[in-house]
């Protein structure tokens, strides 16, 4: 025992050698490197009781992907110039997290999927082509990984890096997850140079596993891996969680939406990008969470057209402030590249009438995918046919429809408001 305690420069748990590939321990346990960037990027070493390649070769099979996960590779087609609102998926049969996975949209580097698991996983899973980000809209349980278990519940993100062996143990009750696959890189924490590393969350909010649950078990342990649309099953004679220690920074983790501390502005409207939490190649993920309403200026989104990204928005909780009562919890909207959108008429009326609530009681998960992004046949099967009608009152309500005196009215209003200034500002007596 040393006189004082220390921590090393790299996270580690359990029995590990003093440094990777060094010391006498490497002759007694089996070291495995999980390496990104051709071993020049993020790396973690795991130390095993048995060689990780101890598969039973004759039992390796390529599975029939269409039977194994019928909707994960749902055919894609161009979105075109129509907004879509997708109802919640209701699986016809009880399937597990992965066998029930269904694609919604995808571009070259990112896909968004949905799954509503109702069956246990009797195998372990490894995604060999993507890092997975789960958002738990409903449910909870334990994500068991080679690095240790991670308990999760409603409102959590789970990040499962590419290649990490894992399985889900589900708690009782309904489960519903949005699942983002990142094919070209891991999520990076988003932060702006001017607001620093603690807005809108801190790295200390991430929860990495620290409790090893080492299994020294013999039997038949199936691992299913996925690369694109190819699913392969292999069988090992020892439990894959035979890890006695690990060291590195390539790890699964949990991040709770309640730890997002959003940027708010009293006198202007924070654009969606101000709510970004993760950046991925070809995608950014924002969280609109419970926050105070702007006191002056716009508290609704401005009408906008996103010229480089298709916007997906998963409605997790509350009354979405621009939705005008059209969307419900669990639904997803797709707003394609270039097509204008913004507040629904009921919401805009509240703004025009100065009916500001004090708090936005809502949580929405927005993942915007770079152009070109395609929509799946599965997603289209969930589409509400009348969603484009949500903005219909803009053509029929006398407040928004054409009037001959409209131009003269706006000119008069502009003149009347020419000297208007915000209330929340420095006030000099000589100018008041």
Question: How far apart (Å, rounded) are the C-alpha atoms in residues 156 and 116?
Answer: 15
Q: Min. distance of Cβ 7 from Fe ion in angstroms? A: 44
Burial of 50 (0-12, 13-18, 19+ CB in 10 A): middle
**Six-digit token string for 137:** 């809209």
Length of the chain: 432
Q: Min. distance of Cβ 214 from Fe ion in angstroms? A: 47
Count of chain residues binding Fe ion (CB under 5 A): 1
Q: Give 31 or 311: the residue with its C-beta nearer to Fe ion.
A: 311
Q: Applying CB under 5 A, does 181 fall inside the site for Fe ion?
A: no
Q: Min. distance of Cβ 304 from Fe ion in angstroms? A: 6
Q: Min. distance of Cβ 316 from Fe ion in angstroms? A: 16
Interface of this chain with Fe ion, residues 361 to 390, rule: CB under 5 A: none
Q: Give 330 or 336: the residue with its C-beta nearer to Fe ion.
A: 336
Q: Give 191 or 311: the residue with its C-beta nearer to Fe ion.
A: 311
What lies within 8 Å, CB to CB, of 1 at 6+ separation is none
Q: Give 132 or 286: the residue with its C-beta nearer to Fe ion.
A: 286
**Six-digit token string for 419:** 């000297």
Give the other-Cβ count within 10 Å of 298's Cβ.
13
Which residue has tokens 């509503």? 116
Q: Give 208 or 351: the residue with its C-beta nearer to Fe ion.
A: 351
Backbone conformation region of residue 351, classed left if phi is above 0, alpha if psi is from -120 to 50, else beta: alpha
Residue number of the CB atom closest to Fe ion: 311
Interface of this chain with Fe ion, residues 282 to 311, rule: CB under 5 A: 311
Which of 60, 35, 56, 61 is closest to 46 using CA atoms?
35
Partners of 276 in the beta sheet?
A: 286
Q: Give 209 or 364: the residue with its C-beta nearer to Fe ion.
A: 364
- Binding string, 30-69, against Fe ion, x = CB under 5 A? ----------------------------------------
Q: Min. distance of Cβ 300 from Fe ion in angstroms? A: 12
Q: Min. distance of Cβ 324 from Fe ion in angstroms? A: 14
Interface of this chain with Fe ion, residues 300 to 359, rule: CB under 5 A: 311
Q: Min. distance of Cβ 157 from Fe ion in angstroms? A: 21
Q: Min. distance of Cβ 154 from Fe ion in angstroms? A: 25
Q: Give 136 or 379: the residue with its C-beta nearer to Fe ion.
A: 379
Q: Give 102 or 366: the residue with its C-beta nearer to Fe ion.
A: 366
Q: Min. distance of Cβ 216 from Fe ion in angstroms? A: 52
Interface of this chain with Fe ion, residues 103 to 162, rule: CB under 5 A: none
Q: Give 311 or 329: the residue with its C-beta nearer to Fe ion.
A: 311
Q: How many angstroms separate the first and last alpha carbons of the chain? A: 72
What lies within 8 Å, CB to CB, of 157 at 6+ separation is 133, 134, 135, 136, 254, 255, 256, 257
Question: Cβ(314)–Cβ(86) under 8 Å?
Answer: no
Q: Which residues bind Fe ion (CB under 5 A)?
A: 311
């Amino acid at each position: 025992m040393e006189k004082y305690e220390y921590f090393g420069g790299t996270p580690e748990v359990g029995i590990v050698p003093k440094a990777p590939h060094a010391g006498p321990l490497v002759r007694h346990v089996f070291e495995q490197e999980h390496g990104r960037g051709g071993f020049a990027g993020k790396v973690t070493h795991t130390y095993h009781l048995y060689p990780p390649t101890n598969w039973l070769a004759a039992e390796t099979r390529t599975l029939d992907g269409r039977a194994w996960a019928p909707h994960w590779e749902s055919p894609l087609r161009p979105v075109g110039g129509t907004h879509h609102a997708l109802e919640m998926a209701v699986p016809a049969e009880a399937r597990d997290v992965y066998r029930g996975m269904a694609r919604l949209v995808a571009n070259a580097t990112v896909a968004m999927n949905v799954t509503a698991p109702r069956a246990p996983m009797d195998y372990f899973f490894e995604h060999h082509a993507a890092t997975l980000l789960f958002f738990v809209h409903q449910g909870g349980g334990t994500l068991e990984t080679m690095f240790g278990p991670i308990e999760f519940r409603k409102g959590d993100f789970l990040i499962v890096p590419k290649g990490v062996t894992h399985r889900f143990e589900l708690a009782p009750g309904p489960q519903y997850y949005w699942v983002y696959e990142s094919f070209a890189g891991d999520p990076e924490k988003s932060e702006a140079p001017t607001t620093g590393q603690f807005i809108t969350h801190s790295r200390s909010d991430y929860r990495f596993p620290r409790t090893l649950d080492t299994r020294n078990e013999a039997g038949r342990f199936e691992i299913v891996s996925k690369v694109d649309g190819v699913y392969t099953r292999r069988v090992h004679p020892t439990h894959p969680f035979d890890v006695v220690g690990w060291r590195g920074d390539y790890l699964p983790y949990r991040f709770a939406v309640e730890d997002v501390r959003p940027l708010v502005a009293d006198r202007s409207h924070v654009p969606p990008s101000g709510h970004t939490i993760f950046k991925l190649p070809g995608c950014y993920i924002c969280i609109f969470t419970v926050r105070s309403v702007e006191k002056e200026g716009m508290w609704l989104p401005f009408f906008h057209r996103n010229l480089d990204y298709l916007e997906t928005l998963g409605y997790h909780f509350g009354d979405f402030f621009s939705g005008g009562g059209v969307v419900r919890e669990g639904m997803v909207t797709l707003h394609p590249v270039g097509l204008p959108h913004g507040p629904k008429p009921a919401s805009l009326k509240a703004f025009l009438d100065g009916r500001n609530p004090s708090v936005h009681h809502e949580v929405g998960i927005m993942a915007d995918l770079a152009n070109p992004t395609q929509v799946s046949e599965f997603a289209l099967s969930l589409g509400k046919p009348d969603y484009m009608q949500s903005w219909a009152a803009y053509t029929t309500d006398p407040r928004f429809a054409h009037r001959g005196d409209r131009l003269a009215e706006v000119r008069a209003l502009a003149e009347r408001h020419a000297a208007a200034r915000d209330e929340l500002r420095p006030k000099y007596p000589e100018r008041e």
